Structure 1
Amino acid sequence: MDFSQLIKGFDVVWQNLDYLAWGNYPDGPISGIALTLLMSLAAIVLATGLGIIAGIGLVVLTSWPRRILVTILAFLQAIPIIMLIFWSYFLVPVLFQIDVPAIFTVIMALALIGAAYIAYAVFAGMIAITDEQWQAAYSLGLKRQQVIVYIILPQAIRMMMPSFINQWISLIKDSSLAYIVGVAEFTFLATQVNNRVIVNPTQIFLFVIAVYFVICWSLNFAASRFIKQYQLS
């Protein structure tokens, strides 16, 4: 295949661009790139919130509550995301007799595993703060919760923001695993298009790579700019 044929092969992408972008919306449920972005955003927000809470827990908890938290985080770090999605979707309805939406399953699986990694990033940032800052805050009459929320945690998050960004990007890429429970995200629709036209798979999946690159690069760029402005302010 020469270069001109490669470029011409992208016609199949342009012809199906609307479908790849948002599926059959508004005549059907939103899917494609739009669904990937929505799931990723929801997972990022949940993972960050849960990760910060768990990271604080690693610092303040002691004895058996801390051991339980460490065990849960270790389990989430050890299990592959695809297995957590699979078992959550197929096993939870059997155990609890409830219907679990596939999209919700994917978001929660991504958020829980992302939170486990963010928790240790927050923990590392918090214990890196010198004891003098803790003692100075206590000498001002602040309670432990106030010291953490207003003094220690903001500094820890600032230091660990690059780790946050890396984890957010991983969550975006891992959202493609939603195919295992039939969620019609971007790669799922790209595979559908490829199976339907049975030609030019190279162009279709090059387009998939390009879209994920643009999404992840944009997030990295925006977050990096925000960090620079935040550090200068």
Structure 2
Amino acid sequence: MGYSFDWSVIGQAAPYLFAEGMRFSLTLTALSAVMGLALGTLLAVARLSPRRLIAWPAGIYVNTLRSVPLLLVIFWFYFLVPYVGAWLTGASRPVAVGAFKSAVITFTLFEAAYFCEIMRAGIQSIARGQSAAAQALGLTHWQSLRHIVLPQAVRNMMPALVTRLIILFQDTSLVYVLSLTDFLGAAAKVGQRDGRLVEMYLFVAFVYMVICSAASQGVRLLEQRKAVIR
């Protein structure tokens, strides 16, 4: 017996899918990207430090998180963060963190490991002579890093950063394990309610394909622009 498609369910559910699901996915992506990039930059600077007591812990952190599946990390932090919070605050019971805060913490810490390697590669792509010249002009190490090295490094690694953002946006769908309503989760709820999972999943796949394809095209344009500048 053939399946009878009913595409009208998409038009009816679209306001809910984008107002609730897509907004959640974009919010989680933005928060995780901003905080993960900040933490990743600090980790990259730490990994490049000549002091082993600084470089080794950062390297262990990055290599550990990069070798563990994200889904497993989500479970770890969802169940462990409340107990860690209780230990830090001295509370007698686990601290109520909440699924959303736990997801933000998880994605931030996980993505920081990948942003760290991107930032480290970008910093190492800048000739050391520029840092030496900056220090000869009287700039401190941090001033030369902030004003000379990082601006050029960010330009060099922009395609890689955008690519990582695309992956981060796709990975936000994993929050379904925490019963959070992202774009995919919202579509699943509507599909189960109306008995139209096939239509909803096809629509979700199409939306993800359009967004990620547009972002990928942006990456190619950035790479072309970078090649022209060089």
The TM-score with structure 2 as length reference comes to 0.85
1:37 aligns with 2:34: no
Could you tell which deviates more after superposition, 69-78 or 127-136? 127-136
C-alpha contact (below 8 Å) 2:135/2:144 kept by paired residues: yes
Query: Alpha-carbon deviations, 1:26-51, whole Å to 9, x = none?
Result: xxxxx311111111111111111111
- Partner residue of 1:117? 114
User: Over residues 195-216 of structure 1, what are the superposed CA-to-partner deviations in whole Å (9 max), with x where a residue is unaligned?
Assistant: 11223x3321111012222333
Give the Å deviation of 1:111.
1.7
Does the Cα contact within 8 Å between 1:110 and 1:174 map onto a contact in 2? no
Match of 2:198 among 202, 212, 218: 202
Change (3 A) 1:139 1:44: same
Q: Which amino acid aligns with 2:173?
A: S
Verify the 8 A CA contact 2:47 2:56 in the aligned structure 1: no
Deviations along 1:83-107, whole A, 9 cap, x unmatched?
Answer: 1111211222245220112111112
- Residue by residue, what CA displacement relative to the aligned partner does 1:32-83 show, whole Å, maximum 9, x if unpaired? 1111111111111111111122112222351122111111111111121111
Deviates more, 1:74-83 or 1:92-101: 92-101
Other structure's SS at 1:16 match:
helix
Q: Give the Å deviation of 1:168.
A: 0.6
Distance 1:48 1:224 in 2: 21
Structure 2: stretches of 5+ with no match in the other structure: 87-93
- Supply the distance in 1 between the matched residues of 2:216 and 2:69 (Cα, whole angstroms): 24
- Report the more deviating stretch, 167-176 or 218-227: 218-227
Q: SS at 1:60's partner residue?
A: coil
Q: Which amino acid aligns with 1:140?
A: L
Aligned 8 A contact 1:51 1:116 in 2: yes
Letter in 1 for 2:53: W
CA distance in 1, matches of 2:72, 2:40: 21
Q: 2:30, 2:215 → 1: CA distance?
A: 11
SS at match of 2:95: coil
Say if 2:81 and 2:102, in contact at 8 Å, map to a contact too: no
Does 2:73 correspond to 1:73? no
How far, CA to CA, are the matches of 1:138 and 1:131 in structure 2?
A: 11
CA contact (8 A) 2:173 2:183 kept: yes
8 Å CA contact 1:47–1:114 kept in 2: the answer is yes
Cα deviation for residue 134 of structure 1 reads: 2.0
Q: TM-score of the superposition, structure 1-length normalised?
A: 0.84
- Separation of aligned partners in 1, 2:125 and 2:17: 45
Residue 146 (str. 1) matches residue 138 (str. 2): no
Return the offset for 1:132.
1.8
Give the total of aligned pairs.
Answer: 219
Alignment of 1:46-61 (within 5 A): 46-61=35-50
Identity %: 29
Instruction: Give the Cα–Cα distance (whole angstroms) in 1 for the partners of residues 33 and 171 of structure 2.
Output: 12
